[in-house]
Amino acid sequence: MEIVERAWAEPWEGLRCTPAGGSPVGVVVLSGSSGRVEAARARVLARAGFDALAIRWFGGPGQPPGVCEVPLETFTAAVDLLRADGARRVGLLGTSKGAEAALLTAVRDPRVDAVVALAPTSLVWCNVGPGPDGADRPFRSSWTWRGRPLPFVPMDEDWTPAEPEGAPVAVRSWYERSARTFAPALPTARIPVERARADLLLVAGGADAMWPSLPFAERIRERRPASGGPRTLLVSDPEAGHRVVLPGELPLPASPVHAHGGTPAADTRLGALAWPRLLDLLAGGLPLPGGSRAPRTVRQPATPG
């Protein structure tokens, strides 16, 4: 399928990839804490029939340098753009911290019809990196809404990694320990997914070494209506890690800093298992140009994360 690409500079850096004949379904594509513009993923989604807008949501001009007090209005503005251009249905697809942002946005913006949350969390966590003031301590919320920080869970700074110095670190146990240490903060930091009218697809690996995304996904599913409301689907693989690889994508190179868990084969298997459900949930019954199909492989950027 022929796609049209348009680069964006304002109000944020981004790339929009659209089937040449247009699409009734727009998808905002969000990276995790790598901060990259998910160009390869946007191309994959466009070749499957979606109008895909990948944006840089921190680290760009006028944005916090880290995931620290990022306004959720960043994401509602992207929904504005797709709706203004005629999208009949809008979805958010995010991974890791991007999944956290997508879920929180869907809670607050009823125009979001669907969320695909890859390696999600059920909680709002503290900042990853510095805020607008350049400082990363004391801990602050990752997000704001209408100028107010959201309640969050801090990190337990007494935690130490088990890996030898210089080896990639698995921080899953840091998040698990922090949830225990700051248990009183959990009720107010929970993402109130029961309030979102969007359909949800949760995709998580049991061997995620970054945070316990599968238990998080299970808690999200438990808090959603069992019937009579929006759909909630959970797709998992016990051997997959933090980086889900969708059909048409290549596995990212290993990070020298973080251990993500899983294997390229298991991460790819999980992406293939989730793919038909992703297509169905994002499309919501609307016909996509060219029909839904797995796209050809698109080369990923070299940035690890």
Number of domains in the chain: 1
**Is the pLDDT assigned to residue 47 strictly greater than 80?**
yes
Band (pLDDT 50/70/90 cuts) for residue 10 is confident
Summarised one tens digit per residue, pLDDT across range 105-115 is 999 999 999 99
**Is the pLDDT assigned to residue 221 strictly greater than 80?**
yes
**Is the pLDDT assigned to residue 181 strictly greater than 60?**
yes
Q: Does residue 180 lie within any of the structural domains?
A: yes
Q: Does residue 296 lie within any of the structural domains?
A: no
Band (pLDDT 50/70/90 cuts) for residue 1 is confident
The predicted model gives 6-16 an average pLDDT of: 93
The predicted model gives 35-58 an average pLDDT of: 97
Task: State both tokens at 33.
Answer: 């804490």
Minimal CA–CA distance to 56: which of 78, 28, 80, 37? 37
**Which residue range is the domain that position 214 belongs to?**
3-283
pLDDT of amino acid 303: 46
pTM listed for this prediction: 0.95
Q: Does residue 300 lie within any of the structural domains?
A: no
Q: Does residue 16 lie within any of the structural domains?
A: yes
Q: Does residue 129 lie within any of the structural domains?
A: yes
The predicted model gives 241-260 an average pLDDT of: 96
pLDDT of amino acid 292: 55
For residue 29, what is the domain's CATH number? 3.40.50.1820
